Structure 1
Amino acid sequence: MNLLRLLICWLLLCAAAHAGTLTQAELARRFPAPLVVGEKSADIPAWPLFKQNGTVTELVGYAFESADLAPVPGFAGVPPNLLVVIDPKGTFLDVAVLSQHEPVFLEGLGEAPLREFLQQYRGRSLGQGITVGGGKGSLDGVSKATASVRIINQSVLSAALKVARAKLGFAQGRDPGRIGRIRMDVFAPLSLQEMLDAGLVRHVRVRRGDVERMFAGSSGAGLDAEALAQPDDVFIDLWVAWASVPAVGRNLLAPRTWTRLQGRLEPGDHALLVLTAGPHTLTGADFVRGSVPRGIVLRQDRLPVEMRDLDLEPRLADGVHLPADEMLLLRVIAQAGLDPACALDFALPVTRSKGIVYPERITREVAFSYRLPEAYYIAPERAAPAWQASWKARRVELIVLGVALSLLAAALWQQRRLVAHARRFAWLRRAWLLFTIGFIGYAAQAQLSIVNLTGIVQALRAGRGLDYLLFDPLTVALWAFVLVSLFIWGRGTFCGWLCPFGALQEFAGLAGQALRLPQVAVRRVLDARLKRVKYGVLAAILLAAVWAPAQADRLVELEPFKTAITLNFVRAWPFVVYAAGLLLVAMVVNKAFCRYLCPLGAALALLGRVRLLDWIPRRAECGTPCQTCRHRCGYNAIVPSGKVDYEECFQCMECVVIHASDEQCAPRILERKRSRTIPIVPAPDTIDRRA
């Protein structure tokens, strides 16, 4: 115990481990000449990468750390940190590991499979809707690490989308792969008035007096003499239409202009037609064709979306007459993620100057919106949470687990029927333990672990959510059942029936008995002391998870579950020797690891104190004088008084079998003997003679 106190004090003094962040110098080392690393952006933690091409400096892309932008916790509660590089079109140039704490990639599998997985991002676009293991076009997962790579995929995409939204004009708050789509098959001849009535063309008229009122109360008020003298005169007449929609473009534009427009747009691009009349223009005298007009701004979800002139001279269709002084066809690239299902928010900046030497510039905006009617686009599918893909992919395994757990709960609830025949119960239990090892352990990879708890501790400590747990549906389902069972039966349901490594130990014990190895019965005093060790191990791991996460990663290796179950003993030899050694010990000492070292068992024992039922039947004779169950209990979970210590009970139900047996339970045997006793009654003639 003194050693335990010293360990706890040392952990309390340790500082929490923080992942380092990249510096500009480190990035320069990773991206040498001819690339140049620019200064980190002020608005978002990303570094621009440039390349000198003759006399022109070209933007190659942006480099950033996923943990800075999307700290999605992994299964150790710590977010993976990845170096991500995307080009100006939103295509991945590289994704590399900076740090990660995923248990399956720390040892055993190692980082090599993770690095191979990350190589699949190269050349893929953010607009593709990248998924893991979803069929054709998706990323290939990693065996035994499906949930981890799904979390990593979410980290990469979430971080990259944030940079793309801030720097490349991608849609704010949405995956560009999940937006509305223009219906190219919908067309009907429409007149200009019919398009105006349907909302396909938006007309806005602003008078000079309207503009003057916008500047009221500011230093820009009263600077336009014409607005004061003639407030009802038109300042600007403006028409906006979604020209790449066939029902708009084919009716509004001349056939030749429509054909040329189609040839200039790439898949997913959009074109907007803007026509204006009046003294205010959108381009100005210094406007260059092919550039971005400064006189009109488009926003969606409060984020500016770039509109660039297509350098086409649009001509209107015959019969369409608009008094336009300027006409522009503006292109919005597909990567911008413009969503036809959402409103387009336009603004016309109007600037006035006051003063001569250093004039003060005052700007106000004429704002209006344009929404495409529903008949002309296909609404996007509602974006499902990323973890739902894991549940769909493993629905068969979830059904199998759900049916199995239901059968187990029903059997344990009907314990009298379950143990009615001792031999049949023994074989049923062994069959279930084989299912636990084969399906729950190796097939479903649903071995519960102390790592599940340390991950929650570290996530809560860092103020992160617990959504990452949903990426492993079978573990979530099993934990849900175990937590409910704690209220009914206590710790034993998991430790005795649902723990794959515990089942391996139980079979190791049976093998030891079959080989006639000497079975070590630990003296009760020593046994009681050794049982306290697992609580010290639990305390050390949880304290490390809070104060020294790097040490927690090492301490959780006291649990052999990852070696024996998750990685199937395919691991570095010290870990294999440790796990195999525990099984060898279990051949002579009944489930020694579970009883003395298991931190998860200690946690469940503490949580099991909320148990509502004393479900193991007892008699008045139990303990006084009968000690049969106590001596037969391989876990020393029955005290001399006959009371069951549920915190150390593994629900093997041997004592329940004894309690129900006429051949093993001493009080029942005594009752049977008494029922068979023939009372001595004097013969009638003897009574007569006495009389």
Structure 2
Amino acid sequence: MAWTVLLVLFTMPTFAGTLDRAGMERQFPAPLVVGERDEAVPVWPILKQEAGAYEIFAYAFESIDLAPIPGFGGTPPNLLVALTPDGSFRDVKVLSHHEPVFLEGLGSEPLFAFVEQYVGLSARRTIRVGRPSARANGASPLAVVDGISMATASTRVINESILAASLAVARQKLGFGAAGKAGLKVEAKQDLYEPRSVAELIERGLVKRVVVTNGEADAAFKGTAVEGQGEGSLEAPLSDLVIAYLNVPTIGRNLLGEERFAALMRELGPGDHAILVVSTGPLNPLGEDFILGSIPDRLTVIQDGLAVNARDMAIERRGGGVEGLPAGPWTILKMVQQAGFDPSAPWTLTQKITRERGQILVERVSREFAAGYALPANLFDREVPEAAATWFDSWKARGWELGLITASFFLLVPVLVRQRGLVADQTRFTAFRLAFLAFTLLFIGWYAQAQLSIVTLVGLVRVAVTNGDLSFLLYDPPSLLLWAFVLATLVVWGRGTFCGWLCPFGALQELAARPAKALRLRQVTVPPSLDRGLRFVKYGVLAAILGAAALASPLADSFSEIEPFKTAITLYFVRTPAFVAYAVGLILLNLFVYKAFCRYLCPLGAALALGGRLRLLDWIPRRAECGSPCQLCKVRCRYGAIAPSGEVDYAECFQCMDCVTIIHDPTQCVPQVVARKRGRTLAPQPMAAE
């Protein structure tokens, strides 16, 4: 066992990018040039020559390096993403994936077409997977890409991988977007205003004054090549800044006056922000060569540890400084809504002070001085964007499906619990069972795509030997809901609740067998010794699949194809002829050997049979006469789950309830028929599990 664990640990995959420089150059051939890979973040700058100089054409990276989100195969998809300097998607390509629905199913072409939709969209916007009719207009912070109807959960994982990786690069390279803030809208309440002087605003903390003295600057440069270059007394200010967030009326109107404040608000777009920085000290924070409308290289707005893109608004500066403040260099910095800036949360203005030495070989040393700024949250209205790029969107979009499936659980459980109720009436119970199986096939299977599969267990094994991230389960809400119910009922009734009631392929087989019964197709009787041997095959199949998954072998995906679920349920039989023939062949075999696949081959059934050994009760009632002399239930059981002794093999029981109906029916149960003739009454009793 120890050697097996060591083998798994040494063979488990590490999620890392696959492209080296040569690989990147193949993806971005000449005239483009691949620059040096960043040491801090795994990003390759892609350069293009313009007017004799090289400019950034895009930042290229692999999603698996930055957002290794496991897909439904248990391993993360890997996508090559190229972001332009303004945050738009230049290119998105699939490098590798293990999504079961695209492996020998739909094929990879639909997935390639899906990711092509991102080209031209902006990482500054929230992107959601939805329907074509749900597309947002160009001004909306929300963008929608068309999903794939039979791969909804997989496309959401792909979308999350692209966005999470892109935002990580954007924060490091493009200066915008804390994760989760794309589309965030925070606006100052315009109806809150109090007339205040500049001194009162500073006293109340609505306006911030920050002073850096010569002594503080000298201390910061101590031990460097430019130490001791300060001039004047140590207590004298070198930099004296006044900082103000102007959107709040109590601040902006008092500093700018009514007309200039109103003009500023008109010039700002919805959700944009303006910050005033005025210098009253000897050091000009903008620099003598500052160009209006550019991004100041000496002033940086930082929030949550990330730099926010703040650009000078190029407002007319004639007439000196801003009204109500001392004269001096000033700027109004603008941050657009998509930058993710939240003025209701604390932020920092960083001023860079540079000193230099030498005239020919100039040596420059810079130090940054930060000033914190925070305003009361009650001055703002916050509009939080929909969490469309996360798993939560999957649950919100499929709420009514989850509600209907949950309602079916509430309908099924009382029927199974109250054995003397509907179950005891064979005619009514048969009608109920057929209706429920039709619901399982048509809604749970073909519509909601909630066919449980061994693929989920493969994904769990792969995750267990890698990063332990189970988030991929959250992208398929109906299946996760079904798993929760199946696991809960497993400890009560065993595997039968799923295999007999909630498996769409199982329902398809049972419904297909009804006409065969009416046509009197002769059933093939499997000899008892052969039947017992064949039942162990499914456990061998289960071991092979999970073993291959633990060893990170691609054979796990191939072995999983023994399940016909993908063909018959997920893809509606729209697949290559070999897979369709296999699925149809199993259904035809079922007409002669009832549910042969479920009994002998199904790896998921094997896993549930093993888990079902934890059940609390042997819940099927038995009598002393069961097995000796009465054999009626054994003969009627189409699954062969009742031994000649009358004992029920719960690992093979599919909870069809036929034997329960018989034992409660005084006209069918042989001991009851005999007892009634003798004027006695028999009461069956469930037996406690040993």
TM-score (norm 2): 0.87
Q: Which residue of 2 aligns with 1:424?
A: 428
Aligned-residue offset at 1:75: 1.3
Provide closer, same or farther for how the CA distance between residues 379 and 199 of structure 1 changes in structure 2, counting only shifts above 3 A: farther
SS at match of 1:170: coil
Counterpart of 1:314 in structure 2: which amino acid?
Answer: R
The Cα offsets for residues 312-358 of structure 1, whole Å up to 9 and x where unpaired, read as 55357999343333223344455543222222212334566799999
CA contact (8 A) 1:90 1:335 kept: no
Which residue does 2:236 correspond to in 1? 233
Within 1, Cα distance between the matches of 2:480 and 2:614? 21
Deviation track 1:263-319 (CA, whole Å, cap 9, x = no partner) reads: 986666544322222333324556566555444333211123354445555357999
Secondary structure at 1:614 match in 2: strand
> Given the superposition, is the C-alpha separation of residues 254 and 56 from structure 1 closer, same or farther in structure 2, using an over 3 Å criterion?
farther
Secondary structure at the residue paired with 2:61? strand
1:251 Cα shift?
Answer: 4.5
Instruction: Tell me the secondary structure at the aligned position of residue 618 of structure 2.
Output: coil
Between 1:490-499 and 1:278-287, the stretch displaced more is: 278-287
Question: Which whole-Å CA distance do the structure 2 matches of 1:14 and 1:127 have between them?
Answer: 39
Of 79, 85, 89, which residue of structure 2 is paired with 1:88? 85
Residue of structure 2 equivalent to 1:69:
66
> How far has the Cα of 1:167 moved from its partner?
0.4
Instruction: Tell whether 2:509 aligns with 1:505.
Output: yes
**1:254–1:316 Cα contact (<8 Å) kept:** no
8 Å contact from structure 1 (residues 305, 336) kept in 2? yes
Amino acid in structure 2 at the alignment position of 1:47:
W
CA–CA distance in structure 1, aligned partners of residues 593 and 563 of structure 2: 18
In 1, the alpha carbon distance for the partners of 2:539 and 2:87 equals 51
Is residue 174 of structure 2 the alignment partner of residue 177 of structure 1?
no
Q: Does 1:557 align with 2:554?
A: no
State whether structure 2 residue 199 is matched by structure 1 residue 202: no
Q: Residues 20 and 327 (structure 1 numbering): CA distance in 2 closer, same or farther, change over 3 Å?
A: closer
Identify which range, 51-60 or 326-335, moves more after superposition: 326-335
Structure-2 change in CA distance of 1:15 and 1:203 (3 Å): closer
Q: Which moved more, 1:195-204 or 1:611-620?
A: 195-204
Q: Are the counterparts in 2 of residues 638 and 645 from structure 1 also a CA contact under 8 Å?
A: yes
Query: CA separation in 2, counterparts of 1:289 and 1:425?
Result: 81
Deviation of 1:53 (Å): 1.6
Deviates more, 1:201-210 or 1:99-108: 201-210
Could you tell which deviates more after superposition, 55-64 or 646-655? 55-64
Matched, 1:108 2:113: no
**SS, match of residue 416 in structure 1:** coil
* Residues matched between the structures, number: 665
Higher Rg: 1
Cα distance in structure 2, aligned partners of 1:163 and 1:61: 11
**Is 1:609 matched with 2:606?**
no
> What is the alpha-carbon distance in structure 2 between the residues aligned to residue 534 and residue 67 of structure 1?
35
1:56 aligns with 2:59: no
Q: Could you tell me whether the CA contact under 8 Å between 2:321 and 2:328 is conserved in 1?
A: no
Q: Which amino acid aligns with 1:638?
A: I
Tell me, in whole angstroms, the C-alpha distance in 2 between the residues paired with 1:285 and 1:186.
Answer: 38
Whether contact under 8 Å (2:301, 2:308) holds in the other structure is: yes
Range that drifts further, 349-358 or 90-99 = 349-358
The answer to which of 199-208 and 286-295 deviates more is 286-295
Deviations 1:670-691 (A, max 9, x none): 21222299xxxxxxxxxxxxxx
Matched, 1:223 2:228: yes
Residue ranges of structure 2 left out of the alignment (5+ in a row) = 1-6, 137-143, 682-690
Partner SS for 1:448: coil
Q: 1:154 Cα shift? A: 0.9
Instruction: Measure, in 2, the Cα distance between the counterparts of 1:376 and 1:11.
Output: 56
Q: Secondary structure at the match of 1:274?
A: strand
Whole-angstrom distance in 1 between the partners of 2:421 and 2:617: 18
Taking structure 1 as reference, are residues 272 and 23 closer, same or farther at Cα in structure 2, changes over 3 Å only? same
- 1:337 lines up with 2:340 in the alignment: yes
- Tell whether the 8 Å contact from 2:255 to 2:322 is kept in structure 1 after alignment: no
Instruction: State the Cα distance separating 1:28 from its structure 2 match.
Output: 2.2
The answer to whether residue 25 in structure 2 is matched with residue 28 in structure 1 is yes
Does structure 2 conserve the Cα–Cα contact (< 8 Å) formed by 1:605 and 1:647? yes
Q: SS at 1:145's partner residue? A: helix
Distance 2:181 2:196 in 1: 34
Taking a change above 3 Å as real, the CA distance of residues 426 and 312 of structure 1, as seen in their structure-2 partners, is: closer
Aligned to 2:624: 620
Check the 8 A contact 2:185/2:337 in 1, yes or no: no
For the residues of structure 1 that align with 2:128 and 2:153, how far apart are their CA atoms? 12
- Structure 1 residue 396 and structure 2 residue 400: aligned? yes
Instruction: Quote the residue 1:488 is aligned against.
Output: 492
Compared CA separation, residues 664 and 397, structure 1 to 2 (3 A): same
Is residue 223–residue 354 contact of structure 1 (8 Å, CA) maintained in 2?
no
Q: Which residue identity lines up with residue 163 of structure 1 in the other structure?
A: V
Aligned to 1:682: none
RMSD across aligned C-alpha pairs, in angstroms? Answer: 3.4
Structure 2 counterpart of 1:121, which letter?
A: Y
> 1:88, CA displacement in angstroms?
1.0
Deviation at 1:24, TM superposition (A): 2.4
Judged with a 3 Å threshold, the aligned counterparts in structure 2 of structure 1 residues 577 and 223 are, in CA distance, closer, same or farther, namely same
Matched, 1:530 2:534: yes
Aligned to 2:40: 43
The 3-state SS of whatever aligns with 2:128 is coil
CA distance in 2, matches of 1:202, 1:351: 23
Residues 307 and 429 from structure 1, CA distance in 2 versus in 1: closer, same or farther, beyond 3 angstroms? closer
TM-score, normalised via structure 1 length: 0.87
Amino acid at match of 1:348: Q
Is contact 1:48–1:59 with CA below 8 Å preserved after alignment? yes
Task: Please give the secondary structure, in 1, of the residue aligned with 2:617.
Answer: coil
Match of residue 99 from structure 1: 96
